[in-house]
Chain A
């Protein structure tokens, strides 16, 4: 008898989420191999509805204790306002390369050495740090309602950091490359990394004030993470979101269209179902600046009286973890590209900044769309980066700063956040002006 059938015999409903993961990593520090790591782990999360109440438990594998623990917690739980996912069909599974599961540490060392040596030949003075990782496994969700989702995943990841000469090894140009399986890292990707390293050889900052801000694709999370808080069914249902009554209204620049497509085949974290076993479907959330939908999990959908959108994820703002209760969020936000190239947008900036990444967003009042973050990037003058930023904060409100968006590039790049196991696609976005404060 399967575990879910055992559960069916003693509770009203049950949902079993399980993962199996094999990870091999190699790390190079200052050009030399520093660490080889293996991780072979499994984990599962059980949610039950017993006597109408919700409970949960977690362990490394299904067991009678797992079921008993979940039943015990349900005795103190809240009456469940929703049911676990019913039987449904799942569309295209994510790209999967079985060769990834066969990779050895030696194979990954070869990839890292190749990249290290190519960088060294182009920039002999560069001190390179790399992490190369092969990850493969399966994730599944099975419910007593008939949902039975099961898919493999595979990723090869290469993270590279090339420091700016003036700032030690910790501050420099960084990039992360993904592939479903073994592949050769493209020259263009390395060229972009080295170009950013060249821009940052000296430090330079603008005066504090309002300046044009060009966000690189990875920095687009300034918009998407802030929006996620406001689009979450939890904050919408309770009226805490400023977007609760804005469906059909224009809230951002008409230049902005944001789709949610978790199964997008270019995403390294593509998936055909969310963490509650609900099939994902491509949807438009912002259509030329107009709000067209929210992000819901099963609970939030029930509260809003809507069908679930398949946006449940077991994670916090910082990390994916199976113990985290499912909450709604982006699983594959895709910001549609515009027309000009990013170099054209850069060339339009007489004085301003180019932002590569930010930190401290979680300290902001995201429920109101506000942000105040420390930013890394470059000071731009006369359309050219002239040095890397130091001691620079960027602050504002997305519902003001992204209304007057000056331009969106035609190029899109993956915006994967490894720690949250989520990825999207984003272009470069040029804000007309935002508050830049330099300490």
Chain B
């Protein structure tokens, strides 16, 4: 494979080109209220070429390795032809040449576990959930994915690397009277299948939350101080600041570039945020990205000041900064774009009790049920509790949060010392090729307090 890819690039009339070929094996099992709704295996394969010539760029996706040379030549020709209409020349920052094979290792490889054992594990968790009378329906989804990728470029980089991950996501739907509510159970996010076993305690906690949620009233709309739990704070920092720190999101945004100049005050001085693909055994862990650059930790916010951003080789050149190894593609059908890896708020010094005691009328927000990022961000809570008079009160449902990146970051007034990284999480990012949904990431944080957030509750 390596020689085929190297040969595909040989002698191309371009300034730079690279080629990647992916061979994957995936398993998906979905159990719907005790019934195996689908069980499937995948063996997709395909390649992707990028060519840069005279400041212009062309890309192509293809299915068969036999087509690699032809596609590379056509893509190079397309880049040369595009140069006539190109604006400012696209540059690439220097990146070290890498020649290495990166092999994944794990104490419990999901590929060695039979379909029957995987299905039985889902049945076990489903049995616990459906034994609860208020549980109306469940969906437990297992997935594992192994990818072997080979990458070559005209600088001389020639590498192979592997990705391996396994997850279980459970959606638990309960009904009591007219109230229908959901709770979630998510474990995995690593190559270690062992992380999926023996998680009954976490599942039972989700079921307890669901039962209380069925009696909960919807949150009231308004602007409130909130305490975010570690999972919610992880989602918050991912959506609110992580996406904005992906340099391709800000490259052509003069206002954002101005506000995100390195050293600019963006948050309260107690906030430190970083993104690190080298944290062991997490969803966003990888040794090298999909343009052949070794992944490294980037400090994004240090003492409230903008400290860095995540780059591709293109954006590193455009910003005059160093490469960070954050350019990843979901699969061969997509161009690599800048993606977060493991994004974390670092631990501070406050306690949860201090945060709750400091709030007269607000909410404790638990978890995240999806969101979207940008200058104005939004995400949904799994559940929330009223905080009144400095005390935690009743649970409420349907608390969706929205805010402005800049005002919200400055409103973080307390950071706890209890950082946790969550396990399973996907991130989608719109790109020229469409939405790349299946890039694995991780986020984490301690509890944090934000002084004012818009809660878009159902009632006024």
Contacts and interface: CB of A to CB of B under 8 A. Distances in A.
Given A113-B85, A240-B137, A391-B454, A73 B39 contact: yes
A55 B29 CA distance: 10
Given A106-B81, A109-B85, A372 B400 contact: yes
B36 A78 contact: yes
A372 B456 contact: yes
B87 A31 contact: yes
B188 to A, nearest CB: 18
Nearest to B434: A419
A78 B30 CA distance: 11
A364 B398 contact: yes
A240 B398 contact: no
Interface stretch (A166-174, A219-227, A405-413): A166-174
Given A57-B40, A365-B397, A439 B402 contact: yes
Contacts of A394: 456
A23 to B, nearest CB: 9
B371 A239 contact: no
Contact of A393 (B370, B375, B402): B402
Contacts of B37: 78, 299, 325
Contacts of A362: 369-370, 380
Given A37-B335, A78-B36, A239 B457 contact: no
B371 A363 contact: yes
B455 to A, nearest CB: 7
Interface string A181-193: 0000000000000
Contacts, number: 279
Contacts of B82: 26, 33, 35-36, 105, 109
Contacts of A396: 458
Interface stretch (A38-46, A254-262, A265-273): A38-46
A302 to B, nearest CB: 12
B458 A35 contact: no
B59 A37 contact: yes
Contact of A35 (B44, B57, B434): B57
Given A359-B372, A437-B455, A32 B88 contact: yes
A323 B81 CA distance: 35
Interface residues of A, number: 89
A250 interface: no
Contact of A209 (B179, B456, B460): B460
B59 A35 contact: yes
Nearest to A323: B42
B68 to A, nearest CB: 12
A234 B454 CA distance: 34
Interface in B35-65: 35-46, 56-64
B181 interface: yes
Contacts of A316: 437
Interface in B46-100: 46, 56-64, 71, 74-75, 78-79, 81-82, 85-88, 90
B290 to A, nearest CB: 16
The DSSP consensus for interface residues of chain B is strand
A374 interface: yes
A240 B175 contact: yes
Interface string B160-189: 000000000000010100111110000000
Interface string A424-439: 0000000000010111
Contacts of B376: 374, 390-391
B241 to A, nearest CB: 15
Nearest to B62: A40
Nearest to B252: A169
Interface residues of B, number: 98
A86 interface: no
B85 A33 contact: yes
A418 interface: yes
Contacts of A60: 44-46, 63-64
B320 interface: no
A125 to B, nearest CB: 14
Contacts of A368: 179-180
A317 B30 CA distance: 17
Given A69-B41, A168-B256, A240-B175, A37 B437 contact: no
B85 A32 contact: yes
Interface in A360-402: 360, 362-365, 367-368, 370, 372-374, 390-397
A282 interface: no
B71 to A, nearest CB: 8
B116 interface: yes
A35 B60 CA distance: 11
Contact of B30 (A34, A42, A235, A325): A325
B181 A395 contact: no
A16 B25 CA distance: 20
A248 interface: no
A373 B456 contact: yes
B333 A41 contact: yes
A355 to B, nearest CB: 14
Given A56-B38, A58-B44, A359-B372, A208 B221 contact: yes
A285 B424 CA distance: 37
A343 interface: no
B130 to A, nearest CB: 12
Given A38-B75, A106-B81, A359-B372, A73 B41 contact: yes
A59 interface: yes
A390 B376 CA distance: 8
16 contacts: A38-B61, A38-B75, A38-B78, A40-B62, A57-B41, A72-B41, A73-B41, A75-B115, A319-B434, A365-B181, A368-B179, A374-B372, A394-B456, A418-B434, A437-B402, A439-B223
Given A30-B252, A75-B116, A439-B223, 17 more contacts: A32-B87, A33-B85, A36-B81, A39-B61, A58-B40, A59-B44, A169-B254, A170-B253, A208-B223, A239-B136, A325-B38, A367-B182, A374-B378, A419-B430, A435-B457, A437-B454, A439-B452
Nearest 4 A/B pairs, CB to CB: A32-B87, A363-B380, A393-B456, A439-B454
Interface of B: 26, 28-30, 32-33, 35-46, 56-64, 71, 74-75, 78-79, 81-82, 85-88, 90, 115-116, 119, 136-137, 173, 175, 178-182, 218, 221-223, 249, 252-256, 333, 335, 368-372, 374-380, 397-398, 400, 402-404, 407, 428, 430, 432-435, 437, 452-460
Interface of A: 25-27, 29-43, 54-61, 65-66, 69-70, 72-78, 105-106, 109, 113, 131, 167-171, 208-210, 234-235, 238-240, 242, 299, 316, 318-319, 321, 323, 325, 359-360, 362-365, 367-368, 370, 372-374, 390-397, 418-419, 435, 437-439
